């Protein structure tokens, strides 16, 4: 049993602000408000990008990482997320799961190709510059 990593993990939680900022309560509070506002702006931009073009989830996790520099709750959320992503990646590397995913992807592509072929056979393909209004 390695408890050293747990103790290190618990010690790593908390503010990563410079010591001179942590020494002054008003300065540290201002620092926390600034980190929160910047993180909130980044998370909000990521939420806007979810339905629009852009790396929405990546930006949201970036905002969470900004919050994690100052807030324990964000650090815990990021640790949980990293753990779940690692577990999912390990499951995805399982040969049976990979084989199943490849088969499902191939079947899905065949279905899409057949549907596109049926559509083109029934309606043909008209280029946008040849559309008669």
Are the C-beta atoms of residues 16 and 69 closer than 8 Å to each other? yes
Q: What is the pLDDT of residue 94?
A: 84
Cβ contacts of residue 69 below 8 Å, gap of 6+? 15, 16, 17, 35
Cβ contacts of residue 91 below 8 Å, gap of 6+? 97
Task: Tell me the pTM.
Answer: 0.55
Burial, 63: exposed, middle or buried (Cβ in 10 Å; 0-12, 13-18, 19+)? Answer: buried
* Residues 121, 118: Cα–Cα separation, whole Å: 5
Q: What is the pLDDT of residue 12?
A: 67
Long-range contacts of 42-49 (CB under 8 A, 24+ apart): 42/66, 43/67
Per-residue pLDDT of the chain (133 residues; tens, 9 = 90+): 444 444 444 446 777 777 777 778 888 888 889 989 999 999 999 999 988 888 888 899 899 989 988 888 888 988 898 899 888 888 878 888 888 989 999 999 999 999 999 988 888 877 666 666 5
């Amino acid at each position: 049993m390695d408890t050293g990593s747990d103790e290190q993990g618990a010690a790593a939680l908390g503010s990563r602000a410079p010591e001179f900022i942590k020494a002054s309560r008003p300065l540290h509070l201002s620092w926390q408000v600034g980190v929160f506002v910047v993180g909130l702006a980044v998370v909000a931009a990521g939420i806007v990008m979810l339905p629009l073009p852009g790396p929405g989830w990546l930006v949201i996790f970036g905002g969470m990482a900004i919050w994690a520099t100052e807030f324990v709750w964000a650090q815990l959320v990021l640790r949980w997320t990293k753990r779940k992503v690692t577990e999912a990646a390990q499951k995805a590397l399982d040969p049976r799961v990979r084989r199943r995913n490849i088969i499902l992807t191939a079947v899905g592509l065949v279905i899409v190709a057949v549907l596109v072929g049926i559509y083109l056979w029934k309606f043909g393909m008209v280029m946008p510059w040849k559309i008669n209004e």
